[in-house]
Amino acid sequence: AEAERALGGGRAEELFAETYRKMVLSPGAAAAYRAFLETAADPAARPVLFHCTAGKDRTGWAAAVLLMILGASRETVRQDFLAVNPAVRAAFAPYVQKFLDGGGDPAVAAAIVEVRPRYLETALDAMDERWGGLDGYVRTGLRIPEPVLERLREGLVIVG
């Protein structure tokens, strides 16, 4: 009943969409994503394994930004972002089942456990609104120097 009051009626999805917006706009998040990208750009640090608590939200945005820096289209990024859903559904199935057995709403569970296209779109919209797109976000929002971007592209893009 408490979960329904706090998260029902679409509020869980709203909460997660706002979380994605904050991941883009927060100075603390910017510092974390800058550190991630600087690490990924360091050839001595590769291969890089990155993960967050659930492996879908902060990790998903980090992967999205990295893929876009490397030249992936937003559609490719979207497909990659959503591809995590089968794994997170399986990983969190026991918790979801317990929630459902206690009378929890499946829509609330899905909004929390899954990633949604709307979550990524909210992050991309925030990036576009604040910085005019990826380039502004990376250079001004994250303050990634050009040499770091060059090392990322040189080390992680295979032209063939």
User: Active-site residue numbers?
Assistant: 52
Element (H, E) at 14: helix 11-25
Rg from Cα positions in the chain: 17
SS3 144: coil
